[in-house]
Structure 1
Amino acid sequence: WHYFGGVCGGNQLNIIPVYLNCNSWGNDFERLYEFFRNINHEDQEYIVIGDTNARTAAKQTLPMELEMDGIQFRDVRRSKDMKSNGRGNSFLQFCEDFRLIIVNGRCTGDPDGEWTYIGPNGSSVIDLCCVSPGVMDVMETFSVGCQTFSDHMPLEVKLYCRPPQMDAVLPLLPKQPWKDSNKKAYTKQLDLLSADPLSDSLPLQVAMELLTDRIIRAARGSGMDAPRCLDGREPWWDWECTRARERSFALLNLFRLSDSRLSKTAYLKQNALFKSICEKKMTEYYKSLAVQFANVRDSS
């Protein structure tokens, strides 16, 4: 098992991504339990997050000493998934043993315990975010995201950590594409833009910004810009893909608002169509490239 560590709010924070496979759940759960037992330290904070394949409904009774503020976090969870199972009970015991709090359905960003899995066989809340009590002091938001590329919705956590010292961070300069065929045009454009030399009296930061601006303008004026794909996506992506994706998102949002079986069926059907359109476009695009390469070889 792996985890990521860092400092947030002055404390050591460890993030443990989990996936408990439904086909080997018992073994995976035992490994997670043993792993966490070995790395758990009272002076450190933890976030356990991911696909648990465990249904907990709105369960989890918090210890009396853990008082929620009642504004950002609540003592009592809510969940759109009213079912629980044995795996869920085992996972709740894991949380109790290590003082982890499930934030799904307990905070302002997820007040109702949104569905995290929406598939043809049903919907459930099996992707969970569990945190140690100290994390709640630095957790700005938690929410269940909205996307169409998977049956599982993303869990989104935003933490408030102390910003780094500004004088210790160097800004990244924009990277421009380079084409040897446009070298002469670029040189000409840069010469024209540099006809007026920069004053020696300018502050260094201002001079750097002006010089960077000239380089960018010269690159754009000489055709150095890389061709951009629609929506910044793959070269095979077109408006048909965009429209299908927008319909999927609209139906997904409708289902999340209504919880109706009809809207869920419509979303799953539309999302399957969206994925098939993308698959078709991608296949056709790369087949056409193969034909073009073959024609080049034949002509030579």
Structure 2
Amino acid sequence: MPHILSITLFALLVPSLLVPLCSSYNHSNTCRSYCGNVSIDYPFGLKYGCGHPGYRDLLYCINGVLMLHVASGSYRVLDIDYTFQALTLHDPHLSTCNSIVLGSRGNGFVVEPWRAPFLTPVPDNAFLLIGCSVKSSLFQGIPSKHLACRNVSGLGCEDYYRCPAWGFIGPTNVGLVYGSGPPECCTVAYDDLGAGQGVNLTKLDCQGYSSAYSLAPLRIDGPHEWSYGIRVKYSLQGHDAFCKTCEATRGTCGYTGDHGSEITEVCFCETHNSTSNCDSTSVESMIAEAVVLRTSSTYAIILIGFLVSMVLWNKD
């Protein structure tokens, strides 16, 4: 009976002693993941602390569908091109060659001011604004101050008017002379609207919009072959060197902090976190390792004492 009791106590105690030792060195790269068929890697992340802090609270995986959320609303992410640093987005209320959506239901595209340096539509992305009011800021001011409606990378309203969708509503003012009223369609580039403006359909007083982008050097034969969607480039603003150094030392790039504290880039290593790379040992990690070592020694002494006491007890 004493032997059975000793073995039972030993079996119950040993796991509780070993858990702190094992958990201190348990580390895996949980940031790299997938949502549907889209891979999520640096600088993006789905979990808190993963990726670059400039892209925090940006992507969400909902029932296997990757969504991007910015000031103007939510968009489905069709693709992340890590080679050319670009995302392809879909707005369900985006007008295409086969369907024109009016009623200001489209999102347009607006990002928060602090996020603007990290995320912006590519230069060859054309925004075709539809049904804008004569009071729209697009057409205000003296003629020389009017925002020019133009083609962007060969994409423009003149060709867009050829789409079947116009047959259902019919452009009423297709002239390009502002004196006869604003055109039903006005093509602009994102940067034409000015810093901080974005494609805000409410502020621009427009009923709808389309967006298409050019993938040169592909030759396209009319608007029915355009690539509809919003092509957005992302930039690390020169901070990618940190992550490259971190990954070169077998670390995972991430960040710490939240809206109530300072956001700091962090390299997650196997046994510690670092603000540089896994080959450097910070003061914090040295303290953490000392605590782990001291705790491990304490557990070892307790375990040895317990075993000795069991042996002496069993002899009696």
Larger helix share, 1 or 2: 1
Higher RCO (CA-CA < 8 Å; seq separation 6+): 2
Same fold (TM over 0.5): no
Provide the TM-score with structure 2 as the length reference: 0.26
> Which structure shows the higher strand fraction?
2
TM-score by structure 1 length?
0.27
Larger radius of gyration: 2
